[in-house]
Amino acid sequence: MEHPEERYYKLNRFFLSVNGLSPYQNVWNARLIRLVITVILLSSIFVQASTTLTSEVNLEFIIDIIPAILPTFAGIINLYLHHGNIDKYRKLFDHMWRDWALQKTKDEIKIMHDYAETTRLVTLFYTLQVCILFVMYNVWVFMPEILDVISPLNESRPRIETFKVEFFIDKGRYIYLIQSHICLVLVTVTIVLLGSFSILLTFTQHVCGMCKLLGYRAERLFCVIENAAGCDLIRGTKIRCRDTAVFVRLHCNIIQFISLIKACHRVSFLCDLIGILFALSLTLIQILSIAGNIEKAIKSISFSIIILIYSFISNYMGQRITDMSSNICEKVYNCAWYNVAVSEQKSVLLIISRRFHPLVLTANKFYTMSLQNFGMILQTVISYCMFFRQI
């Protein structure tokens, strides 16, 4: 079923579809896509793990290989964790369309459109950034071949080896096959992780938009009626009571929506957290131990920046949900709720009491997604880095 608001989420839905995770996708097409992705990622893990058979396995080798292989594992884990939540995604999307169909004022409609437009622009921005980085990576990798054509020497320039892989074939003869496989794996991992990022962004931004809408309604929920006739007072009381019931119901819907998001992402958040701690710690060791190897330094620093951005966005969106949901309670508290009938006050007090139990996203109840805890991750990474360097 098509919805007018889907234009904001076309790119996000596209990433779900190319990962075989869209709840509205043909089942067999989705299975085929997931099978192809799985084969590509498993082949990458195999050729990277095979280097242990042909290389000396020491601490330096481990520090090099683990950060490179972790994103591939993250891709497979994210793919199948999200696959297990496809039915929940359908419920979340259906919930979104119902929220869009609610009767709203022009200002409330603008709030919804602003947050949806932000989702579209942020997704588009990061997609373009990834495309630019991928083009730059390919130019860098094939720079020796390009220079051999532009300014040939007596012998070919040495090829750039970006990742340690072992295909058990002649690397010089099949260099383009190896590089093509690496590029294919990079594209696949990127699409999987972009899909995970974009779907989280879609749902969390929608929650923030609904919280902003409820905050707007909270400021206008109770109005003081003065110099009104008796019949007008009765009519005003009925309207106010109806609006309060709708407000409370919408607040409950937001709580249910966030609960579904938590159910979909709590395990993937935990897996991402563990992977980020290890990958950042080992990459930081690489950066600190690099001496004169510019290519390795660029690769390690770029990888660290990408991981930090990925982690920051997840924590930032968790922080936004906490702040926006708490803001609803504060705006309800600041309105004239104490002037209304006791029957209405009871339902409003339930919302106010939620201020002491903020809505949060967690990594399997082990870690709360917030900017404060993001700072704690950085401190932990530095501690692990110092520990590994002493081994």
Q: pLDDT, tens digit, for every residue of 52-63? A: 888 887 877 888
Q: If pLDDT is split at 50, 70 and 90, which confidence band does 239 have?
A: very low
Residues 200-207, mean pLDDT to the nearest whole number: 92
**Least confident among 109-113, 153-157, 201-205, 308-312:** 153-157
Question: For residue 371, what are the CA distances in angstroms to 87, 299, 376?
Answer: 30, 26, 9
For residue 368, report the phi and psi dihedrals to the nearest 5 degrees: -95, 130
Q: Which residues of 186-221 are buried (b: 16+ CB within 10 A; e: fewer)?
A: bebbbbbbbbbbbbbbbbbbbbbbbbbbbbbbbeeb
- pLDDT of 387 > 80? The answer is no
Q: Which one is predicted more confidently, 181 or 355? A: 181
**Least confident among 37-41, 113-117, 143-147:** 143-147
Domain borders along the chain are 4-223+232-390
Residues 80-102, mean pLDDT to the nearest whole number: 90
- Do the Cβ atoms of 369 and 330 come closer than 8 Å? no
Best CA proximity match to 188, nearest among 37, 1, 10, 296: 37
> How far apart are the C-alpha atoms of 59 and 367, rounded to whole Å?
30
At 18 the pLDDT is 93
**Least confident among 60-69, 298-307, 329-338:** 329-338
**Least confident among 216-225, 255-264, 295-304:** 216-225
At 238 the pLDDT is 47
- pLDDT of 322 > 60? The answer is yes
At 234 the pLDDT is 46
**pLDDT tens-digit readout, 357-385:** 778 888 888 888 999 989 888 888 888 77
